[in-house]
Amino acid sequence: MPTTAEHRASCDEFVAHIHDLCAEPGTRVRLSRGRGRPVEECAPMDRYLARRTTYRAGRRAYYTVASLIATAGPQTHTPGVRPEPDDPTVLVTAGEDAADTPGAPLVAPTKPAPAPSAPDPAAWFARPNLGATLAAAVRTAGHSAGRTEDTLSVLTRLSDDQLHRRLPSTVTRLLKDNVTPDWGVLLYDLVQRPYQRDQVGLRWRDAFYLATPEPRRP
């Protein structure tokens, strides 16, 4: 069973994969048709998603997020999700093939790369969840604080099926005002929600209220 860190990394990898798919207009159209629909009604998406989702928990979350990314378009992606291209420069190190390569420059032996440190859970939670995204819409896009609060309240109370059906309209409004969710975090939360509904809802509400002004006293 993957660790929490591995699951979160896989969410970002899935998002990057969907962005790549959406670079092809026909694929993007087929993926966007899954908005709000259960997996059983998303046959056009299966050719792109079945291999990556068949045995995953919360499969509908992957289909929902893929359809939302397709709606947004390939240019609207989560910063940091796409890896930077590798440096193509290759150095010949002493003690390997330098002596056998005419004219090859001798350089100091490269040090082994340090072992990657464990991901910091705080870094993940610093990324905006749905509540923080709705708060950003209030702060930067002129969305009504009261109406947005009501929307968030409804979303946290809905059943999973109702939430997946309702999300496209909420996200579409955000996208129209240039507010883009963090797709990886949204995917992770949607996968977790059937098992941790109250905890996910609390995270969304906390993020919203911590990022919006306190109501004025009458």
Q: What is the pLDDT of residue 117?
A: 55
**So what's the pLDDT on residue 75?**
54
Q: Quick check: 152 pLDDT over 90?
A: yes
More confident site: 87 or 164: 164
Mean pLDDT of the chain, nearest integer? 83
Distance CA 201, CA 129 (A): 10
In the predicted model, is pLDDT for residue 81 greater than 90? no
27-62 pLDDT tens trace: 999 999 999 999 999 999 999 999 999 999 899 999
Whether the predicted pLDDT of 151 surpasses 90: yes
pLDDT at 118: 60
Q: Does the pLDDT of residue 64 top 80, yes or no?
A: yes
Average pLDDT for 154-159? 97
CA 82 to chain centre: 11
Lowest mean pLDDT among 76-80, 105-109, 125-129, 182-186: 105-109
Asked if residue 91 has pLDDT above 60, the reply is no
User: Can you give the pTM of this predicted structure?
Assistant: 0.80
User: What is the chain written as a DSSP string?
Assistant: ---HHHHHHHHHHHHHHHHHHTTSHHHHHHHHTTTT--GGG-HHHHHHHHHHHTTSTTHHHHHHHHHHHHHH-TT---TT-SPPPPP---PPBTTTTGGGSTTPPPBPPPPPPPPPPPP-HHHHHHS--HHHHHHHHHHHH---HHHHHHHHHHHHHS-HHHHHHHHHHHHHHHHHTT----HHHHHHHHHHTTT-HHHHHHHHHHHHHHTSPPPPP-
Q: What share of the chain has pLDDT > 70, as a percent? A: 78
Place of tokens 């860190």: 5
Q: What is the pLDDT of residue 37?
A: 96
Distance CA 33, CA 206 (A): 32
Instruction: Give the integer Cα–Cα distance in Å for 171 and 98.
Output: 56
* pLDDT confidence tier of residue 165, bands split at 50, 70 and 90: very high
